[in-house]
Structure 1
């Protein structure tokens, strides 16, 4: 395995190859028009999406009209003229939201989600809606991994991750309840970001679990994701200077470490060695069994208990149109859960958050796998979320960086975990790690 190289889709020198920060800067300087960028993205989609199948809804004429409108006015914000793809559980006024479910073939929201509204306010464009699994759950959509169509692109934000990786759009928005930002980003070889819980508004996003759902972002670099995060949080965009690498890094193998593929374990340990050579102090972080034992059951119980209530309308009126995967794996399981067991799991989750908050007073970064390995073959399953769900449960911010390849030549990912509500600090560290690991 060439540990310092990441898998890439073959590129041409076209505007669609630009990252979001590069494109935004070029548009602001007048060196590129939004129309040229959108035309290039649409051409890439026309060329490639018959194979990748990342889009649930696309209106090229509307996208070009929005781009011409952006070119006709002075820059409105840091994302001016840059297109973004939104997961098809996120409302965009005038665009259908279908949730990859036959229940909603014709639902067209009249109001933007908070995400869509903030993008427009910053001058950005909504290029279209990206494919999701059914209601952002288990039953997969048609999207394929852009690096190898015989392999899954990952979890429920699969369309966003695949479209960004394939240079069809510079930025994508998805959601994570278990691992649906970090895992597909790792499988597709891009940067994924799950923020601290609650940092980005979920208004206008189809809810699954009110205490776990998190809006997340996909981009081609840490800087690109940082730009979109500033827009969605509603803060001035000021690029964070990369942190020095004299960091306190904790390698966290978790109890599931042996279930990771050898290539993933090798990549994590190689990254730790490179960080140590660059001046970081490397320690091991062991999660105490007394606090963390049974965390997977707690995550499942919380997610499914809440899903059984969130989807009350669909199960009451459209039960026969829910997939067996979704109904039996999520809804029925949540219906069987007693409220006292749900509360007990919530209390244990709070204890885990208290413990990790204290542990992170002594470290700057947790280094851990982003997924068990490279994207598995086949499209019927989206991969294992066990290396993501814990950090979702803990409410910590996470960034995945592409790092190395698995035995089939597909991307592997590192997961960098920061302290809750210290997302800016995590970006500074991730930028430095990205710079180091991109060498050679």
Structure 2
């Protein structure tokens, strides 16, 4: 993989020009993407910006985000060849930080559940996850140092786990969704993929102009609460092993690590999340569903068919449950600094018929809290499995620092 931090160091010292750094990513895409299929389209040649903290950093953009230079097709034939007139807000944030937009990465149709043809770079017989399939795979394959994705259920953290990369789903609305195709306005969150936690932190800091998101020179030892999410069902053996390995490494590194039970209302919010998601999806995708029903991706269409008659009262009750759960979760963070839990049930499923299960992600998306994936170990078949570090709403810097603590602890563990 390409380290964003190392690229920045080499560019800043004059060891590598910004143009050469971008050219290397384009060369890597040409060399590797035919086998992986992470990009929908990409530039042939591109000059780097002259200034900015992300100059020389090539970035892939999930293809539900508007880009003026590239089509935005949203993984659907309904939008084939569609050319927006303007960039999405997050794309402009990258450009203003000096980043070079090298292309559009694959997405499931409207960031839902119909898989893309993208392959997992670690094992081509397995899914890279979704819906941000191409962004996770492009970073994992060493094509680009940074990519944008989105998460409505588990579409950043889960593919990051399956592909063995670091990623952050930031606090709700830290990154704007203006110009991003909406699925659920309560849940949709823009996130970042990179090689390591420091790389993710640098990308998010540069985009938002928030220096406090950069990792400090010395990371304070966090208090971890281990959350099994029993309400979401039992994990696979590889997922359980990832959480056990990460918890043991953090404990050995000197952190306070203890099991933690979540309030009952939080478990109820887990059950409420699909109601919120699909009720809002019917409004956000109303034109496509009504005017282009036959062209809708089959799994998404079936899901919308199944949830078409959800009454507004059920949605209102789900929103109320979510609000109460957020208040209860805030109190949990008075006991610990961060939570440590599963990023996915286990390693990436075999085949391309599914992008995997988001059951360990969807609660945290509904809560709006920052989540960071950290690769924990490699399971049979050369398949990575990650864990996620979660902080209270708005404490993105704390989530990143604690994730870096786990990352360092894992790197020195026996």
1:245-260 to structure 2, matched below 5 A, reads 246-256=221-231, 259-260=234-235
2: CA distance between counterparts of 1:24 and 1:246? 27
Structure 2 counterpart SS, 1:341: helix
Structure 1 CA distance for aligned equivalents of residues 5 and 174 of structure 2? 22
Structure 1 residues 264 and 166: alpha-carbon distance in aligned structure 2, compared to 1, 3 A threshold: same
Change (3 A) 1:154 1:238: closer
Cα pair 2:215 2:397 within 8 Å, conserved: yes
Mapped pair 1:373 → 2:346: yes
Deviation track 1:16-40 (CA, whole Å, cap 9, x = no partner) reads: x531121123223221122222222
Cα deviation code 1:354-388 (max 9, x no counterpart)? 11101111101111010000001010100010011
Quick one: which of 200, 208, 217 aligns to 2:183? 208
**CA spacing shift, 1:437–1:257, aligned 2, 3 Å:** farther
Q: In 2, Cα distance between the equivalents of 1:270 and 1:124?
A: 36
Q: Which residue of 2 aligns with 1:147?
A: 122
Corresponding position of 2:31: 47
The Cα of 1:170 is off from its aligned counterpart by 0.4
Distance 2:60 2:283 in 1: 29
Partner of 2:8: 24
1:94 aligns to 2:69 (yes or no): yes
2:85 counterpart residue number: 110
Distance 1:95 1:45 in 2: 16
SS of residue matched to 1:22: helix
In structure 2, distance between residues paired with 1:388 and 1:431: 20
Alpha-carbon RMSD? 1.6
Q: 1:293, CA displacement in angstroms?
A: 4.1
Match of 2:215 among 240, 244, 266: 240
Contact 1:18 1:170 in 2 (8 A): yes
Structure 1 distance, partners of 2:270, 2:330, is 19
Q: TM-score, normalised by structure 2?
A: 0.96
Contact 1:243–1:431 at 8 Å: present in 2 too? no
- The count of aligned residue pairs is 413
2:322 to 346, 349, 354: 349
Contact 1:245–1:278 under 8 Å retained in 2: no
Q: 2:337 aligns with which of 355, 360, 364?
A: 364
CA distance in 2 between partners of 1:197 and 1:395 (Å): 5
Task: Answer yes or no: is the 8 Å Cα contact 1:256–1:386 preserved in 2.
Answer: no
**8 Å Cα contact 2:123/2:382 also seen in 1:** no
Counterpart check, 1:167 vs 2:151: no
How much has 1:243 moved relative to structure 2? 5.5
- Taking the TM superposition and a 5 Å limit, the aligned residue runs for 1:272-291 are 272-289=247-264, 291=265
Structure 1 unaligned regions, length at least 5: 1-16
Give SS of 1:438's match: helix
Equivalent pair of 2:214/2:397 in contact (CA under 8 Å) = no
Q: CA deviation at 1:247?
A: 2.5
Residue aligned with 1:314, SS: helix
Of 260, 267, 276 in structure 2, the residue corresponding to residue 302 of structure 1 is: 276
**Structure 1 residue 258: Cα displacement:** 5.2
Against the structure 1 CA distance between its residues 204 and 151, is the aligned structure 2 distance closer, same or farther, given a 3 Å change threshold? same
- Deviating more after overlay: 370-379 vs 334-343: 334-343
Q: CA deviation at 1:206?
A: 0.4
Unaligned stretches of 5+ residues in structure 2 = none
